Structure 1
Amino acid sequence: MDGTPPAEQILAGLSHALLVVDSDHMVIRVNPAGEALFGTSAKHLVGRRIGQVLHFSDPRLDGALTERDISLTARGVMISGDDRKLGIVDFDIHPLASDSEWRLISLSPMPQDGPILENENNDPSDLAIRAPDILSHEIKNPLAAIKGAAQLLDRQLNESQKPLTQMITAEVERVVNLLNRMQTLSSNQPAQTKAVNIHTLIDRARRSIEAATGQAVKIHDKFDPSLPDALIDPDAMMQVLTNVLANAVDATKHLPDPQIRIITRYSFGASLSAQGQTAAVRLPIQIMVCDNGPGVPAELEREIFSPFVSTKKEGQGLGLALVKKLMRDMNGRIRYDRGNQDEMSRFTLFLPVAPKN
């Protein structure tokens, strides 16, 4: 014997799920981690078509399951099986070297209590939002000229004609505000972090929303009084909380029984590798903002933090993209999901703890 473990022992020892699919797209092998992920035995999975066993929210990934020659890797995708969500995984599919018509599917689940979050330096959305730095000067100058001309015309028109120039001025201001928000997304200024009591900021954000809407906002909270201070930029965090809370208020404003919850807790589940640091930064402070609104459509769930993606008819799709950037600037992260038990939409903020003096 050469001391090499048998293939069965190797498969059994893997922490991620593996499925082998034959040339007819039938599952012929599942390792124990795969049984745990799908919540059923290999006997129930083997012999079924892969398209019946595994589903993605993105139809392009579903199509890859039956493409014999394709090699594909996708990170952080939601999967389902037998009409129930199984969670978010890193997905890989490629033909076997010994037989190109057979394929190996690998599914690596992300922790449910909080994903392991790494520094994503090559995020396409980060590249896309740098465009305003290049175009802003060329766009704002002619906009200023248009606004000035409209204001001059406004002085010469009678009252019945002035709404036209006022509309031009208002639209110019709207576009300038949009450019300013996009420039904020593309800025690379470091966050000014310090130790902050997160509950104080949550209370300020609630009062800010009430002042903006002119009415009391009914929010049920469940705070962990022992939560340590977070290492955050208070101004940036205030903008994050205000944005997420405003979205919850907007999502529930037409419901007969609107429900918004804020939950804070300490958890050991999440960490990230921050740029320029060798050790992972733990993110044990969690803030969950939940509401019983309609939630994010399934087809937009994976893109909700990308620029220009919005669920609102009049939305610009920059609010959550800005939230994502501000959280990353503070070495934090944000995640959206829909709870399995209460079916409430939930945004979870993951934050680092401030060091003790």
Structure 2
Amino acid sequence: MPAAQATRAHRGRCGGPRNAALHRRGATGRCVLRRLTVTLRTSRTRASADMGLRTRPGASIVATIGEQDWQERYHELATMAGQLAHELRNPLSALTLNLGILLQDLDPPRTPREHRMRGRLVRMRQECNALEDLLKGFLQFVRAEEHEEETLCLNDLVRRFVDYFRPVAEAAGVELVAHLDNDLAPVTGSPPLLQQMLQNLVQNGLQAMPEGGRIEILTRRCADAVELRVIDSGPGIPTAIREKVFDPFFSTRRDGTGLGLSIVRRIVRAHNATIDCESEEGRGTCFVIRFPTASVVTNPT
């Protein structure tokens, strides 16, 4: 995409232009923010003074944030959000534990009043568990780019995951199988994060097939990349929502957090990889992930 087309400018509410200069798309197809310029038009000297800025009425305030500053501020925000989620989990865990003790005291309920109390406590514990899942998913989302990498064989990781997760799939009436290309090049990545990525993708397939089905995990080598496919035989994803499946907090299930696939995308991007969703209603869904080989990562030229 030409650099001129990568820059967009529009008028803000305060009348000043806001424009962001984007770097050309890289090998992963993503635009990298190189410079963010914000211009504010002030109409009152006092408003500027409140922000600690010396300007006259009608003057422009221009702030340019470099890529490094942008990354540092993002990580600061992510760290603060992660710490907040962690602090919330501790009292929430204690609350859930105490609800469990109260439920034991009321088991079995001896009066209609105790029966009503127990029903309310059960619902409270369900809500606490839902909040616990949400916070856990949020922490995974925030920390998806914090990892230590090593050179690994994707086939080995898939084999270990399938052995570990197959009983869960079978309990849900789903057959979990792997078809692995023996001629794979090594990739660079974090085994715990990649296992989390696989689990989220397979779990997404299980949720799409409550009556059972089949999930296949395939690997194959293609040019300077290693391709991983996770295919399910579910009902497929409607075209209208296909582009939203990776959005944080988007879910078609009432009890879903909407973080599973967004965590997958963050993990994929943290590994300099790409992910695509191929789906057709009535014919299942296929997630295609392409990892650069270890040699490409260490020698990008």
Q: Which residue of 2 aligns with 1:174?
A: 130
Relative to 1, partners in 2 of residues 1:302 and 1:163: Cα closer, same or farther, differing over 3 Å?
A: same
Residue in structure 2 matched with residue 309 of structure 1 by the alignment: 250
Contact in 2 for aligned 1:209/1:246 (Cα 8 Å): no
Matches of 1:292 and 1:144, distance apart in 2: 37
1:266 counterpart residue number: 221
Equivalent position amino acid for 2:137 in 1: R
Q: Which residue of 2 aligns with 1:184?
A: 140
Other structure's SS at 1:303 match: coil
Aligned partners of 1:289 and 1:152: how far apart in 2? 41
Unaligned runs of 5+ in 2: 9-24, 34-66
Q: Paired residue for 1:325?
A: 266
- Backbone CA RMSD of aligned residues: 4.3
Per the alignment, residue 290 of structure 2 pairs with 350
The 5 Å alignment of 1:2-41 reads none
Q: State the TM-score, normalizing by the size of structure 1.
A: 0.53
CA distance in 1, matches of 2:263, 2:177: 26
1:308-353 C-alpha deviation (Å, 9 max, x unpaired): 112334322111111111122222222112379x954210111121
Amino acid paired to 2:278: D
Partner deviation per Cα, 1:26-52 (whole Å, 9 max, x = no partner)? xxxxxxxxxxxxxxxxxxxxxxxxxxx
Match of 1:245 in 2: 202
Contact residue 129 and residue 182 of structure 1 kept, 8 A: no
For 1:347 and 1:234, how far apart are their aligned partners in 2? Answer: 19
Could you list the per-position Cα deviations for residues 192-223 of structure 1 after superposition, in whole angstroms to 9, with x for gaps in the alignment?
21121111222222222222244485356543
Counterpart for residue 231 of structure 2: 290
Give the secondary structure class of the aligned counterpart of 1:355: helix
C-alpha distance in structure 2 between counterparts of 1:156 and 1:264, whole Å? 52
Letter in 2 for 1:197: C
* Partner Cα separation in structure 1 for residue 101 and residue 214 of structure 2: 49
The answer (yes or no) to whether the contact 1:194–1:354 under 8 Å persists in 2 is: no
* TM-score, length of structure 2 as denominator length: 0.61
Tell me, what secondary structure is at the counterpart of 1:307? Answer: coil
Amino acid in structure 2 at the alignment position of 1:261: E
1:300 aligns with 2:249: no
Can you give the 5+ residue segments of structure 1 that lack an aligned partner in the other structure? 1-14, 17-72, 74-89, 93-109, 269-282
Contact map agreement 1:334 1:350 (CA 8 A) in 2: yes
1:355 Cα deviation from its structure 2 partner: 3.2
**Cα distance in structure 2, aligned partners of 1:305 and 1:214:** 26
Q: How does 1:1-357 map to 2 (within 5 A)?
A: 116-119=29-32, 132-133=81-82, 135-136=84-85, 139-140=88-89, 143=92, 146-147=95-96, 150=99, 153-154=102-103, 157=106, 159-160=108-109, 161=114, 162-187=118-143, 190-215=146-171, 217-219=174-176, 221-254=178-211, 258-268=213-223, 284-338=225-279, 343-355=283-295
After superposition, the Cα gap between the structure-2 partners of 1:223 and 1:137, relative to the gap in structure 1 and judged at 3 Å, is closer
- Quick one: structure 1 residues 307 and 189, their matched pair in 2 at CA, closer, same or farther if it must change by over 3 Å? closer
Aligned AA for 1:116? G
Is the contact made by 1:339 and 1:346 (CA closer than 8 Å) also made in structure 2?
no
Residues 151, 169 of structure 1: 8 Å contact kept: yes
